[in-house]
Amino acid sequence: HRFLASKEQFHAYLRARGELSSGGEEEEDQVEEKKEEVCSCQSEPPAKRVKSEDLGQDGESREDGGVEEEPVERKQARGQNKGRLCMKPNHYEQSRLCPSVTQGCAEKCYFGPRCRFLHDVSEYMASKPADLGRSCVLFETFGKCIYGVTCRFAQAHLGVGYQNIVNTDLAKQWEGKSLVRNNLSKDLQHQLRKRKFSFRKADEYLRGLAKPRGDGGKGGKTTERSTEEQEVSNCTTPQEDLGDSPECPVLLEQGEDPKPDALKSPSPTAGEEASSVKTVGPVTDEDIIKLRSCEKKKLEIQGKLYLAPLTTCGNLPFRRICKCFGADVTCGEMAVCTNLLQGQSSEWALLKRHHTEDIFGVQLEGAFPDTMTKCAELLNQTIEVDFVDINVGCPIDLVYKKGGGCALMTRSNKFEQIVRGMNSVLDVPLTVKIRTGVQEKINVAHKIIPKIREWGASMVTLHGRSREQRYTRGADWDYIAECAKIASPMPLFGNGDILSYEDANRAMQMGVSGIMIARQVPVGALIKPWLFTEIKEQRHWDISSSERFDILKDFTNYGLEHWGSDTQGVEKTRKFLLEWLSFLCRYIPVGLLEHLPQKINERPPYYMGRDYLETLMASQNVDDWIKISELLLGPVPTNFTFLPKHKANSYR
């Protein structure tokens, strides 16, 4: 109990050490006196300190909170901070240099006479904020910083007359190498915005859904056939019969029933639409004939550690951190299919893949078969992925009320059309992530999983909570084990409450094919990214505060590589760092725990770390998170504000 502290002790210690670091070492004796004064004060009763139900969402005790106020507090602690101030990173820089000047082609300004950016480098440098450091991670890693004079670490690579210095030998090593894939090209964005992209296979499937059935059924209903009949039609039926069958719209593919009008397309990419790979030389069968389900590449990830798609925080720099700690499979953040079809750059950024991510997938969210099938065909032709995942587990109201996420579990007809349609246009495996159900005590996953297997999915991930539970209470691993038996031979990954290697071992004994490690638990991938190392090495890692700070340094460097080292990139890196710190602060060092491992919903009392940095990292105060970011990225801009996107209710 020597690490326990009251709220006043905790904040007074951080305040005093902060003043010490800025005022000098001569104030150290005064700091110790302040600490003794605080410790001599009457501390909070242990019952009030320890009980989680008497603590607020932000970690501060509720002095006036009565029994009747608790439901109001719980309601406010759910979902997102929708009323937060949203200041974009580019707003922190008033005078910006024109990109044409940065790229060395000032005579060819993209905006012409209407350009509102500065073209005079000297004028820009006069108003540019001070540099944040003497070394630029881009220059040290790649031999060249593409941001030139706009880089916030420009003194490392600027010569006489603001000339950008290039390390030729180092730059040659990276020349021609693609570090980040799945970028959105301007040509593709133009096609999507002008609706000129060809969705031939998706349109073919959707026309099949609209046709009246031979048995008098409605066009919106898909035919119910057994798995054996599906296998026969997919693998052994002659191709001549496939095009004539009105009950098999999924199988109407190029090369099976060729028609002149189907092969002609006004799109400039008509010759490339059959394959996502551009070929040189003669056209092969792979360019013309669509792979059948039995010929598709299998998703061999049984027994591997799967990093879940994490909204906001599961960005590319964070996934690189998890790869370093031993994550085997990574997945991009949830992307909304309608935004992808519109060519939104911000949504396409969620699909980017680093070259170190050897097994990588993307997760799509949508509510209707037309948009989901078209989006699947779009991605199949334009990006490199190992699998595509359908989000049928998102609990937030914005998605649920539109019929997506968890709502698809109650819309089995649309769900079936989406899975069958996406599977028909994809050359890579299709996976599905679901929850136990919508309502808390009514599990429906065991009824849906056999259907998902029949519809053609390659794998299912089951989160052991319902929509109503969100991320609270314990995951039902007994139910996950029951569903794993039902899903066989289709692989089923379990998700929920993997807090240590012991929990991972217990989960694997339940009969699941693997485990997905997510975030919405007190110790998940976001709170404890080294959990992957603990599982692989079968140990509890009492990681020091300096080692944790080094992880934040790596994230900062990865962020500057990904988002840029100019003011806009620095502030975007800071934003995502602060979002991550809002989760990292919940980690309790192993050396301070009374028993191992930490359990879900255990809300710790205030405690003093073994050093100042460990105490600072345990603070749930936004100002302390900003202080950590300033240690890595320099002082924040004037009028800087931050409020995390997600409210934390996991401890309730």
Q: How far apart are CA 187 and CA 62, in angstroms?
A: 55
Of 145, 331, 394, 585, the catalytic one is 394
Burial grade of 206 (CB within 10 A; 0-12, 13-18, 19 or more): middle
Q: Which element (helix H / strand E) includes 374?
A: helix 369-382
- Beta-carbon neighbour count of residue 402 at 10 Å? 15
- Indicate if 151 belongs to the active site: no
CA 618 to CA 549: how far, in whole Å?
A: 13
3-state secondary structure of 334: strand
Q: Compute, in degrees rounded to 10, the torsion defined by CA atoms 630, 332, 320, 307.
A: 110
Q: How far apart (Å, rounded) are the C-alpha atoms in residues 466 and 479?
A: 12
Which of 317, 424, 418 is CA-nearest to residue 365?
418
CA distance 492 to 306: 12
Q: What is the C-alpha separation between 492 and 431, in angstroms, rounded?
A: 10
DSSP-derived letter for residue 411 is: -
Separation CA 527–CA 77 (nearest Å): 19
SS3 content of the chain, % helix, strand, coil (to 5): 45, 10, 45
Q: How many CB atoms lie within 10 A of CB 228?
A: 8
Joined together, the tokens standing for residue 106 give 């000032």
Where are the extended beta strands (E) located within 446-563?
459-463, 492-495, 514-517
**Distance between CA atoms of 508 and 104, rounded to whole angstroms?**
56
Using DSSP, state whether 525 is helix, strand or coil: coil
Whole-number Å distance between alpha carbons of 323 and 361 = 14
CA distance 332 to 383: 13
Tell me 430's DSSP state.
E
Active site residues: 394
